[in-house]
Amino acid sequence: MGFLSVLTMAQRLVAERAAPGATVVDATAGGGVDTLFLARTVGPGGRVYAFDVQEEALARTQKRLLEAGGAGGDGAGTGLAEVLLLHAGHEEMADRLPAEAHGRVSAIMFNLGYLPGGSGTGALDGDGPVITMPGTTLAALAAALRLLAPGGIATVVVYPGHQGGQDEASAVDDWISALPDETVQALLYRFPKRPGSPYLYALEKK
Ligand SMILES: C[S@@+](CC[C@H](N)C(=O)[O-])C[C@H]1O[C@@H](n2cnc3c(N)ncnc32)[C@H](O)[C@@H]1O
């Protein structure tokens, strides 16, 4: 049977904590898989903020939402939450979410790395795919912990396998290791017999 994939485990942990009507964030919209999952999970009355630095990713996300019955708008009549697609870096999330949402967000999902099949370039030496980067990722993680409600969860899928991925993975490992136990409970979900494979952190705010 095997264990759940890191992506499915992230969704499982979020689904247990994000109630209908909640406010949630997809920090890396990409192809929109997690955005749609979040929109279904918090449903009508809920709100999803989805960030990506690539127009292409937001277009893919919008298409996925439309195909699922939502317009990326207010979700009326679709069974989906209102979804706000933000063409911005996740490191801006504290500025982009309204003040009334601060400290009230139920879940924030990060899926680091690059957009599979994406045409974007510019991350490393102006070449290669657009990837998430350690500096902005750590800034966004810090912002995420401030935005979460007590009991809220941040999930972070880390990809050490691509060029630049190990640097980011090490930065995330170190940052999470240094978090104070009094404020955050941290979980690591990993397949140790598969070197270089993605792994998942979950952070529950106390
Ligand atoms: C692995 S993909 C996300 C996959 C997505 N969660 C899904 O379900 O399809 C990573 C995404 O992060 C985006 N990204 C890179 N840097 C970013 C940043 N600073 N802020 C927000 N998104 C960023 C990339 O453009 C890419 O689309």
pLDDT tens profile 88-108:
999 999 999 999 999 999 999
Cα–ligand 1 centroid distance for 115 (angstroms): 6
Cα–ligand 1 centroid distance for 76 (angstroms): 27
| pLDDT for the residue numbered 70 | 59
What is the share, in percent, of the chain residues with pLDDT greater than 70? 92
Contacts (Cβ under 8 Å, ≥6 apart) of 184: 145, 203, 204, 205, 206
Q: Average pLDDT for residues 171-197, to the nearest whole number?
A: 97
Cα–Cα distance for residue pair 107/166, rounded to 1 Å = 25
Cα–ligand 1 centroid distance for 165 (angstroms): 13
Cα–ligand 1 centroid distance for 204 (angstroms): 22
pLDDT at 78 exceeding the cut of 90: no
- The band of 76, judged by pLDDT with boundaries at 50, 70 and 90, is low
Which atom of ligand 1 lies at the shortest distance from residue 131's CA? 15
Mean pLDDT is lowest, of 26-40, 58-72, 130-144, 173-187, for 58-72
Cα–Cα distance for residue pair 131/153, rounded to 1 Å = 23
Matching residue, tokens 């979460």: 148
Mean pLDDT is lowest, of 52-61, 70-79, 93-102, for 70-79
CATH of 6-129+141-205, one of 1.25.10.10, 3.90.79.10, 3.30.70.20, 3.40.50.150: 3.40.50.150
| pLDDT for the residue numbered 122 | 45
Top mutation candidate among 25, 52, 131 for ligand 1, by most atoms within 8 Å of CB: 52
Nearest CA to ligand 1 atom 20: 89
Q: Average pLDDT for residues 127-139, to the nearest whole number?
A: 91
Matching residue, tokens 């967000």: 105
Cα–ligand 1 centroid distance for 29 (angstroms): 5
- The band of 82, judged by pLDDT with boundaries at 50, 70 and 90, is very high
* Dihedral-angle region of residue 152 (phi above 0 means left; psi in -120 to 50 means alpha; beta otherwise): beta
What pTM was computed for the model?
Answer: 0.94
Mean pLDDT is lowest, of 61-65, 69-73, 84-88, 108-112, for 69-73
Pocket of ligand 1 (CB under 6 A): 28, 30-34, 51-54, 57, 89-91, 111, 113-115, 130, 132, 136
Distance of alpha carbon 171 from its chain centroid, rounded?
A: 17
Nearest CA to ligand 1 atom 5: 30
